[in-house]
Structure formats: structure tokens, C-alpha cells
């Protein structure tokens, strides 16, 4: 029987890894992908659903082609446990699957316990996050539709690092774009635990003042510590309480639950340290961790593009090791994050990261990357092209 690679999580990191292990091994390795959702729903572009410009269907791709075109066995289940000694994954539905190498890309876990009252408010559907795309994205959209003109939408941003550094500012921009179209007397408040806008700050601020004068307000150093769902109020460690009609509270984040529960989140109990040459966990042999769950090197964003890049490095390492090849890779990662700032205009940030053997870390390549000179409609076409390309790279 051929060696088996099990992948947990069919998102940006996991789906890419499953496909590329099959491709790089010339179909020689058995690959099993464990994912509870029936189809992949993308977080990138989901802020356009919040804004009313796209539907969830536009973000959704099935897992069928991974099986049909690439021979990946997709198991619709939830990984409930990992036995790193016995090299098995326990499934929530019962039974377990043996692996020779395990690749884990479970995304993030939202730390509801860090904001008092938030878990209950989320359960009740009153204060949402929509930081994992799906039904909650639509629920947030419904709250905005139900809000009267002249109301306030407030988003809170946790201290970095969190999933998608520009995401909250893109969300705020797309809510403002909707208000400009439908509820022009309304307000958008950004309450940020960080000092300033953590990504593309000058470009976002220029867009807010030029496209939505007087509508969008940014307040730094606002660390949310509690919510009161009854009065729709958020409380901060230092600053005064804020009441809003629609509250979108993003708590701090950590590695996906399965990684935390199995002791792989060995960096402050929050993120998973990996060997950046192969993405193998520093806590367990033959387990590779990808995507938002990892402890990042400086300037590495938690993005879908990066997760896709991690996956290719890990897939190559796994295939080489199972073939008994001695390799000493010098991986490169790339990232581009496009952000919609209006219905038609987009900005981007890009970077290239190279493994530096002497320091065992990734460093940005001097002179690489940068940000847009200005927002443009051309970049909106690039953004949609980026999304279609990466979905196809992962899943078809």
C-alpha cells in the first residue's frame, strides 16, 4: 500500500496542500482531506456580500474536482483528535484514519472568552463576527439591511496578529459603500485595539475621506473587553463605552481548536511554531501546520495567499521526505492582498518572503512588493482575477 498523507481542513492551506501532494508525487501518495463543510466558502471577497454586491454563491466552490481531477479522498467529517504517537486522526463521527504525514490547516479559533458577554451575544445572533465566511456573512448583511438610515455600524479590531490585517478596514469600507448607496445619513465607526490602521493605512484613510466624507471614523487604542447585548454596547479597557445599532466585534484569535487541543499551539498556547523550511511543527514529528494557525515571522500576514504559499512548501517537503530524498530547501513565499475600498475601486499590498538559513526565519526580499500608488478600477479587475485564480489553484 502507498504511504498516506492526511490533511485536516479544506481551506486556503489544506485544499492547496492536498492537491499539490497528489501532483508532486505523480499520484503516488494516498491523500485524504478531512473537512466538515460540504463546499469551500471564501473569506476573500466576502466583504462584497456584506455590502450587497455579491451573493454567497459567488464565493463557493465544491470539493468534487479534488476527487475527480486529482484523486484526493475527501472525507466530510470533523477531526476530533490526533494521536501523534500512533499517527492517527480520530473523527468526530467515530473511527480513525492512519497517516504517515499529517498536514493541519484548521484556520482560526475566535477567543470569545477574551470579551465578556460576547459568547452569549454571538450564540443569540445579536453581535456577530462573520470572520469565517458562510451563514454569518449573510446574517451580518441582514442586520445592516434592517438598520435604519442614520444608524451606526461599529467594528472592533483586536490587537495584531489576527486573520487578514486589512480585512476589518475593507469591511468598514464596504459597509460605508452600502450606506452611501442606501442609508447616507448613517455612520461607520472603527474601534481598533491597535494604535493605527495596521495595513495600507494612508490608502484606506484617503478613500474614507474622499469617498465617504464625514461617514467613517477611526479611533485607535480601543481594546474591546466586554459587550452588553441588551443595549448593544461595547466596553473598552480605558476608553468610554460605545453604543451602536450594528456591532461587529472581532475578539482576539488563535490557532484552530484542534491545534490548540492537541498541544501544537506551542507559541504562548496561541499559535503553532513551525520549522519554516518545511512547515513541520516544532512540537510533533510528521505533523506540518499551515495557514493562519502558525506563529508568523515578522511581516508575514495571516492571509489566504500566504496559506496557499505555505501549502506548496509543505507539500514539496512531505513528498520529498516520503520518497527518502535529502533536501535542503530555501523556500520563497509570496503575498498579495487586494482590498475593496468602494463599489468599484481596489487597493493592494504585496510582498515576497525568503527563508534565511542562518537565522531560520523568513525575511522580506529587499525591493519586493509595496502598495498601490492609488486606488483604481483596474485593481478591482485584478482582485477578482486573483480570487478566481487562487480558487482554481486550490480546488479544480
How far apart are the C-alpha atoms of 15 and 106, rounded to whole Å? 11
Closest to ligand FAD by CB, 186 vs 303, is 303
Q: How many residues does the chain have?
A: 396
Residues binding ligand FAD: number (CB under 6 A): 37
Closest to ligand FAD by CB, 29 vs 103, is 103
* Min separation Cβ 44 and ligand FAD, Å: 3
356 φ, ψ (degrees, to nearest 5):
-110, 105
Q: Which residue do the cell numbers 481596489 mark?
A: 346
Q: Which residue do the cell numbers 504559499 mark?
A: 309
Contact residue for ligand FAD among 31, 32, 49, 107 (CB under 6 A): 107
Q: What is the 3-state secondary structure (H, E, C) of 150-164?
A: CCEEEEEECCCCCCC
Binding of residue 36 to ligand FAD (CB under 6 A): yes
Radius of gyration of the chain (CA): 21
* Min separation Cβ 182 and ligand FAD, Å: 20
* Min separation Cβ 355 and ligand FAD, Å: 19
Which of these ranges, 237-245, 302-310, 319-327, 371-379, lies near ligand FAD under the rule CB under 6 A? 302-310
Contact residue for ligand FAD among 178, 338, 355, 391 (CB under 6 A): 338
Ordered strands of the 216-219 beta sheet: 216-219, 187-192, 152-157, 246-249
CB atoms within 10 A of CB 350: 15
Which of these ranges, 31-39, 63-71, 208-216, 220-228, lies near ligand FAD under the rule CB under 6 A? 31-39
Closest to ligand FAD by CB, 24 vs 296, is 296
Which of these ranges, 39-47, 190-198, 271-279, 353-361, lies near ligand FAD under the rule CB under 6 A? 39-47
Binding of residue 4 to ligand FAD (CB under 6 A): no
Take residue 80 and report the three cell numbers written for it.
Answer: 476530533
Provide DSSP, 229-275: TTTTEEEESSSPPEE-SEEEE---EEE-HHHHHTT---BTTTBB-EE
Closest to ligand FAD by CB, 114 vs 235, is 114
| CA-closest candidate to residue 103, choices 187, 16, 175, 231 | 16
* Min separation Cβ 326 and ligand FAD, Å: 29
Where does this chain bind ligand FAD (CB under 6 A)?
8-14, 34-37, 43-44, 46-47, 78-79, 105-107, 131, 163-164, 167, 171, 256, 258, 291-293, 302-305, 307, 337-338
Amino acid at each position: 500500500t502507498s504511504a498516506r498523507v492526511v490533511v485536516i481542513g479544506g481551506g486556503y492551506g489544506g485544499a492547496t496542500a492536498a492537491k499539490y501532494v497528489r501532483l508532486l508525487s505523480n499520484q503516488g501518495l494516498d491523500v485524504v482531506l478531512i473537512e466538515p463543510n460540504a463546499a469551500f466558502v471564501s473569506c476573500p471577497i466576502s466583504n462584497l456580500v456584506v455590502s450587497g454586491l455579491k451573493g454567497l454563491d459567488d464565493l463557493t466552490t465544491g470539493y468534487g474536482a479534488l476527487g475527480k481531477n486529482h484523486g484526493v479522498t475527501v472525507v466530510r467529517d470533523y477531526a476530533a483528535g490526533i494521536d501523534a504517537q500512533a499517527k492517527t486522526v480520530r473523527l468526530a463521527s467515530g473511527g480513525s484514519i492512519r497517516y504517515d504525514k499529517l498536514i493541519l490547516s484548521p484556520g482560526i479559533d475566535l477567543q470569545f472568552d477574551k470579551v465578556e458577554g460576547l459568547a452569549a451575544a454571538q450564540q443569540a445572533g445579536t453581535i456577530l463576527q462573520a470572520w469565517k465566511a458562510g451563514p454569518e456573512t449573510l446574517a451580518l448583511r441582514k442586520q445592516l439591511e434592517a438598520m435604519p438610515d442614520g444608524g451606526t455600524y461599529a467594528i472592533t479590531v483586536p490587537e495584531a496578529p489576527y486573520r487578514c490585517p486589512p480585512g476589518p478596514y475593507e469591511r468598514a469600507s464596504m459597509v460605508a459603500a452600502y450606506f452611501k448607496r442606501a442609508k447616507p445619513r448613517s455612520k461607520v465607526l472603527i474601534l481598533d485595539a491597535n494604535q493605527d490602521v495596521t495595513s495600507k493605512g494612508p490608502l484606506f484613510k484617503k478613500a474614507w475621506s474622499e469617498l465617504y466624507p464625514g461617514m467613517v471614523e477611526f479611533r485607535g487604542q480601543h481594546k474591546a473587553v466586554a459587550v452588553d447585548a441588551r443595549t448593544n454596547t461595547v466596553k473598552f479597557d480605558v476608553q468610554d463605552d460605545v453604543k451602536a445599532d450594528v456591532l461587529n466585534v472581532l475578539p482576539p484569535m488563535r490557532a484552530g481548536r484542534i491545534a490548540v487541543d492537541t498541544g501544537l499551539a506551542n507559541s504562548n498556547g496561541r499559535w503553532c511554531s513551525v520549522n519554516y523550511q518545511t512547515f513541520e511543527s516544532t512540537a510533533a514529528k510528521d505533523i506540518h501546520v499551515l495557514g493562519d494557525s502558525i506563529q508568523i515571522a515578522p511581516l508575514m500576514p495571516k492571509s489566504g495567499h500566504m496559506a496557499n504559499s505555505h501549502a506548496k512548501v509543505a507539500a514539496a517537503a512531505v513528498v520529498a521526505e516520503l520518497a527518502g530524498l535529502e533536501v535542503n530547501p530555501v523556500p520563497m513565499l509570496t503575498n498579495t492582498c487586494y482590498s475593496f475600498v468602494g463599489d468599484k475601486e481596489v487597493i493592494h499590498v504585496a510582498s515576497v518572503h525568503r527563508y534565511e538559513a542562518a537565522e531560520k526565519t523568513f525575511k522580506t526580499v529587499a525591493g519586493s512588493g509595496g502598495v498601490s500608488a492609488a486606488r483604481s478600477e483596474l485593481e478591482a479587475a485584478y482582485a477578482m482575477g486573483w480570487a478566481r485564480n487562487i480558487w482554481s489553484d486550490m480546488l479544480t
